[in-house]
Structure 1
Amino acid sequence: MMKTTLLIAALASTLSVTANAATYAYISSPGDGLISQYRLDQNNGALTLIEQVQAGDQVNPMALTPDGKVLFAALRVKPFQVVGYRIDPTSGHLTKFTQAPLAESMAYLSTDRKGRYLLAASYGADTLSVQKIGEDHLPSADILRYPTGLHAHSIRTEPSNRFAYAGNLGTDKVLQYRLDAKTGELSPIGSGSVSVPEKTGPRHLAFSPDGKFLYVVGEMSGTVTAFSIDETSGALTQIAEANGIPQRLKLAHGEVRDARNNDLKDDPTPRIWAADLRMSPDGKLLLMSERTSSSVSAFAVAPASGGLKFLDNYPVQEQQPRNIAFSPDGHWLLVTGEKSAKVGTYAVSKDGALKRVGEAASGKGALWIEILQTPDA
């Protein structure tokens, strides 16, 4: 009888926590300088626009602190700055509290897993940067800078927070570093990088939940490359690769793009232009966005070996989808389109199949998505 009572009490407690949890999505739109706050109903995938705040011209990449208390957003116009917003723990409302310099125009922003450092990658300036985040969540004006090869496109630390990796699109390399927890300094692991085939274009990164594997999307190849992470040194070893572009899409190999030819206006050939890569919370599914075909590709992940298998490719209504993001429970996927007036929600099946179930108005050129689960009022 006692066991039954305890079980019922535990179940009631779990249901209460679930019922009181609110899921918010924050989406930046550089075309109008807005950060839009949405509420996601995890029961049915419904998406509701709550409010929009004026962040600044060309607001682009964002990063949530691990404690869920602050959202950082980078402005990609001079003077390059990061804006900090405190997040109300019940309503999710954003309140600006700080603004600090950035090293360059940043295409990617993240924090380390402890929330002590702000990491950034500059595509145009071929640079990575690290700056300390104070106990009051204030980013330091002292910035560590690390030159890279052409077009640095991402930087993240793995779950143990000892190592950092960066996609270097123009050199077809994935950069590998050890992170000094006390200073934030990055030091190369081995030669400092591993190479992928020419014109792969390493872009965004995703890690397995246990931190044993790293996955990298190739912007120009539409492939996902899997690497094992040496537990002691952090060195990467390629273990698998899967192509996410089926022949029916009729896409030619991609080309390097920059501010001068981002839309390849003088090239009428439809080309691969992969963008984001996201791992499901259970570590069994990877999803990749592809902009030219306005679609999302799904890959099965073998958690034990890190292996990959292409499942299928699914069209989405959002035109030129750049960022995608799983809900905390993995049941829903948010999709933004740089040329779409709506942000969509899709139900995600176990095999990666997508079914659109909700939408809400987006800002102009919506792209970056950060999702937060916080207790409701």
Structure 2
Amino acid sequence: MTQIVSTTCAADGTITTFTLNGETLVPLGTSPVGKGVSAMAPDATGLRAHVSLKEPAGVATVALNPDNGIWTQTSHRPLPTHPSYLVRSHDGRFLLGADYGRGVGTVWPVAADGSLGEPTASVEHKRLHSVIQVGQHVYFISLEEDLVACYALTDDGRLEALPQATVACPAGSGPRHVVASEDGRNLYVVTEFSGEVLRFTRDAGTGALEHVQTVAAHDTSAGLGHSVIDEDPVANHYVWGADLHFAGPEGRWLVVSERTESTLAVLPVADSGMLAEPVSIARVNTQPRGFVVTPDGAHVVCPGEKSQNLGLYRVEDDGRLVDVAQAPNGAGANWARIVEA
């Protein structure tokens, strides 16, 4: 199986692809798909994905030719605005989306050809930024309301609010992206405005969450201020947290991006799920919004919104990140995914 890295380049309106062989990134193809392309959700085969577009606004279905790395659009679902986050349901039957601009979370059925049908469910919270399915439960993250909204996903694609309908995040923290531990007992949310990781324990039966830990995940020596909603974080030298993913053997590290100082912080994860302070903070390509970790957990692939390079970083046994390769990339790269095709 060939590992193919895909990055969405919003400024160019393209998806760029690379083959990843050991510690070598080789440019493979560039596919025009539409301006503002961002969130990308591959299916289980790796040969089809859904991507968010600003122009024309909506969600496009794209198919990959693994021989040349070209993604070809096969259908387009028009929407008033573009979702900021997309993910396939565990069974592949639905696409879940979080729309930051409209504050709407949506569930669409996915047809055999990858096209999207009429929504089966929608929910509203201000500035929704991400969504995750854990077991039978779905969690939407609201950046403006500082909360996690909790639902059950039914077999026919409806969303039913859990008895604990929402769980609060620290006021003004700006929760953004979310990941879950492999056993589903812990959820981790990176905050955009405070640059922290919030850890929630999860009851597998009820889906209930409890906020149990907060850990800084940015360069605290850089003098970054606490972000304020709708203010320019770079101009004001504010914290600007973005994305997070597990890395290392059995997910022993949690890697977190921060854009103002262009860093990736590496936090240890204990068997219990408890986090510790970062063991390393690496400078990476400018403004790392979204990134991805290789399936074996050994490398981080990180583009930068203000860099036209794609970086490959080795995860050392002590949690340090070592820059091992760079490859030319498109402009405005904000998302990365790896498929084996």
Specify the TM-score bucket, using the shorter chain as the normaliser.
Answer: over 0.9
Match of 1:208 in 2: 181
Q: Distance in 2 between matches of 1:371 and 1:302?
A: 26
Report SS of the residue matched to 2:2: strand
Farther off after superposition, 203-212 or 97-106: 97-106
| 8 Å CA contact retained: 1:224, 1:241 | yes
| 8 Å CA contact retained: 2:267, 2:279 | yes
Match of 2:13 in 1: 33
Shift of 1:88: 3.7
Report whether the alignment pairs 1:194 with 2:194. Answer: no
Q: Distance in 1 between matches of 2:318 and 2:187?
A: 21
Q: Distance in 1 between matches of 2:118 and 2:326?
A: 39
Match of 2:193 in 1: 220
Q: Distance in 1 between matches of 2:311 and 2:90?
A: 28
Match of 1:18 in 2: none
Q: Distance in 1 between matches of 2:233 and 2:224?
A: 14
Shift of 1:352: 2.2
Report whether the alignment pairs 1:153 with 2:121. Answer: no
Alpha-carbon spacing, 1:279–1:264, altered in 2? closer, same or farther (3 Å)? closer
Shift of 1:254: 1.4
Alpha-carbon spacing, 1:142–1:237, altered in 2? closer, same or farther (3 Å)? closer
| 8 Å CA contact retained: 1:103, 1:129 | no
Shift of 1:296: 0.7
Q: Deviations over 1:193-217 (max 9, x none)?
A: 1001111111001111122211100
Matched to 1:369, the amino acid is A
Report whether the alignment pairs 1:118 with 2:95. Answer: yes
Shift of 1:71: 1.3
Shift of 1:142: 3.8
Match of 1:323 in 2: 290
Report whether the alignment pairs 1:311 with 2:278. Answer: yes
Matched to 1:46, the amino acid is T
Match of 1:295 in 2: 263
Corresponding residue pairs, total: 340
Q: Distance in 1 between matches of 2:24 and 2:66?
A: 21
| 8 Å CA contact retained: 2:146, 2:168 | yes
Match of 1:232 in 2: 205
Q: Which has the larger radius of gyration?
A: 1
Aligned pairs (5 A) from 1:38-57: 38-41=18-21, 43=22, 45-57=23-35
Q: Distance in 1 between matches of 2:284 and 2:164?
A: 43
Farther off after superposition, 164-173 or 311-320: 311-320
| 8 Å CA contact retained: 1:85, 1:98 | yes
2:42 pairs with one of 50, 60, 64: 64
Shift of 1:349: 1.3
Q: Distance in 2 between matches of 1:340 and 1:63?
A: 23
Match of 1:73 in 2: 51
1:369 pairs with one of 320, 323, 336: 336
Shift of 1:360: 1.0
**Structure 1 vs Structure 2: percent identity of aligned residues?**
31
| 8 Å CA contact retained: 2:139, 2:148 | yes
Q: Distance in 2 between matches of 1:359 and 1:89?
A: 21
Alpha-carbon spacing, 1:367–1:234, altered in 2? closer, same or farther (3 Å)? same
Q: What's the C-alpha RMSD, in Å, of the aligned pairs?
A: 1.8
| TM-score of the two chains, using structure 2 as the length reference | 0.94
Matched to 1:215, the amino acid is Y
Q: Distance in 1 between matches of 2:294 and 2:233?
A: 33
Matched to 1:104, the amino acid is T
Match of 1:173 in 2: 147
Shift of 1:315: 3.0
Report whether the alignment pairs 1:286 with 2:235. Answer: no
Q: Deviations over 1:45-100 (max 9, x none)?
A: 211110000001111111011232311111123x5221112234666543332222
Matched to 1:357, the amino acid is V
Q: Distance in 2 between matches of 1:309 and 1:361?
A: 34
| 8 Å CA contact retained: 1:165, 1:176 | yes
Give 1 or 2: higher helix fraction: 1
Q: Distance in 2 between matches of 1:216 and 1:91?
A: 36
Report whether the alignment pairs 1:22 with 2:21. Answer: no
Matched to 1:209, the amino acid is E
Shift of 1:166: 1.5
Alpha-carbon spacing, 1:362–1:90, altered in 2? closer, same or farther (3 Å)? closer
Alpha-carbon spacing, 1:246–1:342, altered in 2? closer, same or farther (3 Å)? closer
Q: Distance in 2 between matches of 1:195 and 1:123?
A: 18
Farther off after superposition, 26-35 or 185-194: 185-194
